[in-house]
Amino acid sequence: MAQPAPLYIVASPRPRIGKTLIARLLMEFLRQSRRPLVGYDLNPREPTLAERFPKLVWPVNIADTRGQMELFDRLLADPASTQVIDLGYGPFDQFFAVMREISFVQEARRRGIEPIVLFVADPSAATVRSYAELRRRLPATFVPVHNESVALMFANEDFPPTRADCGLIRIPRLSPLVRGVIDRPNFSFNAYMAKQSGGPTEVHQWIGNIYTEFRDFELRLLMGRLTSSLGGAPAPAPRRKGRRVR
């Protein structure tokens, strides 16, 4: 049985929360597996992801219907590829409004595409409200992402994943001293990982940890699908410590 192709939507209603960095990491992680891959950058003013991956990522402006067709029709037309969307905070509301209005999730599933919202969580009340509202209104799979560089802690119960087996994805903090390394215009996580002549550095460990998170997440998704196809209830993801703030 063919597995549904994931459509990852990296999203947050807040700016400067690390969405593009997470999308970059995900793109490079997925690239390693040599699966067909395509990305969409929905930051019309600053298409950083598209600039990083000019042959893989298309900048799209969904402010008008033509742009919406360019994005959503193309997503549906490509069920063979793993797709990644870097959703800027500007078009955040409009993106999900259109998605809901055109019943995109249902159609995507019908075509063998599984929309997965990687929601970058933070403890602000607006973000918590936004997550709850989206989960209520959209039948997609929601997975909270904890970017420890921008939010030290949040309450787990504010960001329950749609599926118990998915858990959350943790992006560990990288010390500011080496942060500049990964921000270099031509920096590639995969190329950096391939060069360890002087032994693993903090950046190597950081990338390795994140790739492990992504790998675990994909495995949990796969296990969940297999378990449900066998008629059982998926096992909940292991709980992480140290995130609860109240």
Cα 4 to Cα 79: distance, rounded to the nearest angstrom: 8
By the rule CB under 8 A, 68 interacts with another protein: yes
HSE-CB at 240 with a 13 A cutoff on CA atoms is: 20
Tell me phi and psi for residue 171, to 5 degrees. -110, 105
| Among the listed residues 76, 138, 153, 164, the single contact to another protein using CB under 8 A | 76
Least distance to another protein, CB of residue 24, Å: 27
Spatial contact of 121 and 157, defined as CB atoms under 8 Å apart? no
Which C-beta is closer to another protein: that of 75 or that of 171? 75
By the rule CB under 8 A, 138 interacts with another protein: no
By the rule CB under 8 A, 73 interacts with another protein: yes
Where do runs of H (alpha helix) occur along 33-147?
48-52, 65-77, 92-101, 104-110, 125-137
Spatial contact of 31 and 190, defined as CB atoms under 8 Å apart? yes
| Among the listed residues 72, 131, 154, 214, the single contact to another protein using CB under 8 A | 72
Least distance to another protein, CB of residue 59, Å: 18
Least distance to another protein, CB of residue 103, Å: 6
Where do runs of H (alpha helix) occur along 138-201?
176-182, 189-194
Query: Could you write out the DSSP letters of every residue in 2-24?
Result: PPPEEEEEEE-SSSSSSHHHHHH
Least distance to another protein, CB of residue 181, Å: 40
Stretch that binds another protein, among 99-107, 116-124, 152-160, 186-194 (CB under 8 A): 99-107
Interface residue list for another protein (CB under 8 A) = 65-66, 68-69, 72-73, 76, 98, 101-104, 107
